[in-house]
Amino acid sequence: MAINGNSYDWESIEIRLPHGVAVNIQEISYNDEADIEEHYGKGRTPAGYGRKNYKAGGSLDLDLQEYQELRTHLGGSLYKADPCQIVVGYANDDMPTVTDTLPDVKFTKTDTSGKQGDDKVGSRKIDFKILSPIRWGGVRALDD
C-alpha cells in the first residue's frame, strides 16, 4: 500500500553482500523458475506434465569500490570463493520489511563497459547462479 504516492523506491532497499551492506550499488536483479514440460497422448492437448529442474540466478551492478571490497572479502577471486548469501530487504515507513534471501550464490561472470560521457565508467556487472531455492519474503520457493 502506498501512502502519499510513495511505493518502494531505491532508498527503501538494503542489500547485504558477504562483506556487509552495499552502499555503491546501482542495480540488483534476481529470478527463479520451476518449469514444466507437457506430456502428450492422443489428441492435441496435454495429458499431463513433468517437472523440470529448479533454476535461479541474477546479477549485480556495482561501482568499482564496492566490487573491490566484495572481491577482497571473498579471498581475491569471485569464482574460487565458496557459495555465499545475498539478502535484500525492502520496506516503506508504513509497512513491515520484506526480506528476500538468495542462498548459495556462486558468481559466474564479470562484465565491464564504459564509453565517453558515461558516468558509470569502472562499474562491474556480475552475474550469478543461486544453488538453493530463493526465500521470497521469508518463504522458500521450493520444498525439497
Residues 117-140: tens digit of each pLDDT: 666 667 899 999 999 999 999 999
Q: Global pTM?
A: 0.84
pLDDT value at position 121? 67
Note whether residue 133 is domain-resident: yes
Best CA proximity match to 15, nearest among 111, 99, 96: 99
Note whether residue 122 is domain-resident: yes
> Distance between CA 54 and CA 69 in Å, rounded?
31
Note whether residue 1 is domain-resident: no
Quick one: what percent of the chain has pLDDT higher than 70? 85
What's the total number of domains in the chain? 1
pLDDT value at position 2? 43
Note whether residue 121 is domain-resident: yes
Residues 55-81: tens digit of each pLDDT: 999 999 999 999 999 999 999 999 999
Structural domain that includes position 86: 11-34+53-140
pLDDT value at position 117? 63
Note whether residue 41 is domain-resident: no
Note whether residue 2 is domain-resident: no
What's the burial of 136, exposed, middle or buried (CB within 10 Å: 0-12/13-18/19+)? middle
Output 3 or 123, whichever has higher pLDDT. Answer: 123
Note whether residue 42 is domain-resident: no
Note whether residue 43 is domain-resident: no
Q: How far from chain centre, in Å, is Cα 75?
A: 21
Residues 32-63: tens digit of each pLDDT: 999 999 999 999 999 999 999 999 999 999 99
